[in-house]
């Protein structure tokens, strides 16, 4: 079976720091997603990619960059971490855009 691996599992950063989160999947899925999870706000889409080197902005893309250099990997960069920010970033993938995505376990971000 396949797996979605997110690294690191925990990330502590400083205000203003640039932080990169990584996601790898071995399902050979075409589409990959980055969601942000905040308590009481559900999952909000940051970026998604329907194929290698493709990038599409979600509703929450401001303050983030993404990169899909290989089909199996999708990186997310927080361009300038905000003080006291705490959230979980979830990576997901799906075979195509019309199938329900599978999720990784998340990266938990805390900014001091």
Partner 1 sequence: GDSVTQTEGLVTLTEGLPVMLNCTYQTAYSTFLFWYVQHLNEAPKLLLKSSTDNKRTEHQGFHATLHKSSSSFHLQKSSAQLSDSALYYCALRGTQVVGQLTFGSGTRLQVYA
> Which stretch in 11-19, 21-29, 76-84, 97-105 sits in contact with partner 1 by CB under 8 A?
97-105
At 6 the three-state DSSP class reads strand
CA gyration radius for the chain? 13
Nearest distance from C-beta of residue 85 to partner 1, angstroms: 19
Nearest distance from C-beta of residue 23 to partner 1, angstroms: 12
34 makes contact with partner 1 (CB under 8 A):
no
CA angle, residues 21, 24, 28, in degrees to nearest 5: 150
Whats the size of the chain, residue-wise?
112
Nearest distance from C-beta of residue 33 to partner 1, angstroms: 8
């Amino acid at each position: 079976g396949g797996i979605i691996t997110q690294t690191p599992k925990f990330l502590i950063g400083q205000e203003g720091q640039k932080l990169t989160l990584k996601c790898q999947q071995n399902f050979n899925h075409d589409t990959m997603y980055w969601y942000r999870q905040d308590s009481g706000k559900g999952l909000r889409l940051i970026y998604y990619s329907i194929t290698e080197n493709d990038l599409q902005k979600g509703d929450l893309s401001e303050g983030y960059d993404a990169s899909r250099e290989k089909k199996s990997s999708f990186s997310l960069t927080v361009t300038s971490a905000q003080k006291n920010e705490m959230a979980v970033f979830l990576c997901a993938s799906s075979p195509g855009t019309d199938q329900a995505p599978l999720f990784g376990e998340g990266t938990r971000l805390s900014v001091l």
